[in-house]
Structure formats: structure tokens, C-alpha cells
Amino acid sequence: MSISVTPGEKSKPDDPAAAPVVRSRPSRAKRRQALKGWLFVGPLVLGIIAFQLVPLGISVVASLTTWDGVTTPRFVGFDNYVHLFRSDPQFWITLRNTAVFTVCVIPLTVVSALLLAVLCNGKGRFSNAFFRTAFFTPYVTSIVAIGLIWNQFFTPSGVLNKALDTVGVSGPSWLTDVDWALPAVILVSAWHAIGYPMVILIAGLQAIPESLYEAARIDGAGPARRFLRITIPLLTPQLFYVLITQIIASFQVFALIFVMTKGGPGTATSVYIYYLYQKAFTFGELGSASAMAWILFALIGLVTFAQMRLQKRWVFYND
């Protein structure tokens, strides 16, 4: 990479103009270049320091204290962490709810996104663009508005139950039913998110060379076989990326819960971030909430690291 200078250009030894210029002002030119570079990236780097690095430091400190925003914080070491794991049943409930949410929403989202990606990637440019737009639309819309619409669907005498009545099924009271609230939120969450993985998978599909499919067809491979032996393996980098980003996102689900159920009924849909939010801004326990944030960060790191290690077993990079 560094030795890419072609003989015709700068390395020409008998070029009278180039030689003295290069020798006389390398350091000054370099310094000016450096100054200019820093001026360009300066605002961003300052922003990262002020709004990300400094807050990270504050967060570490806060997680080791009894920070409530009113009284003087007291240093308590790892008490906040220990307390969460040892004697906070709600911490475990919300952790479990988040795990259930993730385990259900990920396959639902990724499998449907794969299905839609394949369907939207047939012949016919107009239809592809049209349907891709249709399936992507929920992803760009406000979660609040979407939550409010779905709330109308899920009321006991709402759209969904009226539709179920017409086929003779009496539906549950969904968002106020302990057993049905979480599945309802999972459904809406998958519905909202599906466009993003779909677009990434479509990009992956379009990168698969058509010649591979033709060769397989000549060899007598049917559509199912072509899908399993060509499409899926060559799509594994995108599937891997989608899996990681979707898991990270679902660990942090909040907005939909906030709009649709406020964690209820009881603690049925109280997910991790919702509890963290309550701790920080309802109960004023910023220290404990910061500890929760770091535990979540560690969990996300752990799961992502595990996936990175596992990817060698199933992700196929064609280069």
C-alpha cells in the first residue's frame, strides 16, 4: 500500500523541480497539513470528548455512589452492583423480560426480513422498489404514533378483537392481560423494525453473482437447493450483521414499552431500560441506574463478543 508510487511520478530522480521541493520543506508542510487536519476534525473530537468521554467518566463515578441529584453523593464502592444482583427482585424480572423479548423478537424479525428480502428481490424493478418501500415505512415512523395506533388495535373492544369476533374467536384484553401484553409488544416491535434488516439483506442478495445460480441450475439444483446452498451461505455476512445489530437494539427496547404499556400490567412488560429509566427519573436513584447501565453495556459486550467468536463457524466471507 505505501509503496504505490509509480516510476513515472514522484520518484523520478532526474526531475529538477521535484527534488528540492521535497527536501527543503517537508517538516513545515507536514506541520501545516497537521494543523489543517486537526482544524477539520476538531469540532467532532471536542464533541466526542465533551458529550461522550466525559459523561462516561461521570457515569463510572456515579455508579459507585449514592447519587440522587439532591443530596451530596456518598462513595459506596460496588454496593450498587451488589445490591442489584443480590436483593433487587425487579432487576431480575426486567432482565428476564428483556431476554424473553429478545429471544422472541429476533427470529421473528430476521426470518421475516429474509423472506421479504427474497420476495422483494425478484424480477421487475418497479415492483421491487414499491414493495420495499411499503415494508420499510414503519421503520422511519415515530414509535409514539405507531404505539398509539396499535393501542387502538389492542383495546378489549378494539380493532383486533372485533376482527376476531367476526370469525367467532373472543380475543384477550391484550395490553392489560398479563399473558398477552408481552407478545403484543413483541409483535409491534418486529413490525416496526423489519425494514432495516430487510434492506441490508436485499443489498446482500444483489451482491450474489447471477452466474452462480445459472451454474447450479445447469447442474440440476432446484430452487430450494439453490436457496440453501448459494443464497444462505453467501448471505451470512449480512445475516451476522443484522443479528448483532438487532440483538443490541432489542436489549435496549424502551420507547414502545413507554408508549404502549408503561411496563404493565404489573411487571409483565417491564424491560431492563424501562426499569433503569424509572430508577433514575422516578425514584431518583441515579447511582443505581448508572450501575444498571454499565451492567447492560457489559452484557451487550459479552453477547457481541460471543457472536464474534462464533461467526467463524458459520459466517462465510468470500474474499
Could you tell me the end-to-end alpha-carbon distance of the chain, in angstroms, rounded to an integer?
18
Smallest gap from Cβ 78 to other proteins, in A, equals: 17
Cα(242)–Cα(229) distance, integer angstroms: 20
Q: Does 38 bind other proteins (CB under 8 A)?
A: yes
Q: Which three cell numbers stand for residue 235?
A: 448471505
Smallest gap from Cβ 176 to other proteins, in A, equals: 17
What is the contact mask toward other proteins in residues 163 to 202, using x (rule: CB under 8 A)?
x--x------------------------x----x--xx-x
Smallest gap from Cβ 72 to other proteins, in A, equals: 13
Cα(105)–Cα(191) distance, integer angstroms: 10
Q: Find, among 208, 257, 309, 238, the residue nearest to 97 by Cα.
A: 257
Q: Find, among 155, 187, 188, the residue nearest to 173 by Cα.
A: 155
**Interface stretch with other proteins, choices 17-25, 74-82, 84-92, 279-287 (CB under 8 A):** 279-287
Smallest gap from Cβ 268 to other proteins, in A, equals: 20
**Interface stretch with other proteins, choices 81-89, 92-100, 114-122, 172-180 (CB under 8 A):** 114-122
Smallest gap from Cβ 77 to other proteins, in A, equals: 19
**Residue of 88, 248, 264, 265 interacting with other proteins (CB under 8 A):** 248
Nearer to other proteins, 11 or 142 (CB): 142
Binding to other proteins, residues 141-160 (CB under 8 A)? 141-150, 152-153, 158-159
b (16+ CB within 10 A) / e for 25-43: eeeeeeeeeeeeeeeeeee
Cα(172)–Cα(258) distance, integer angstroms: 21
What is the contact mask toward other proteins in residues 255 to 274, using x (rule: CB under 8 A)?
x--xx-------------x-
Question: How is 56-104 classified by DSSP, letter by letter?
Answer: HHHHHHHHTBT--SSSPP-B-TTHHHHHHHHH-HHHHHHHHHHHHHHHH
Count the site residues for other proteins by CB under 8 A. Answer: 94
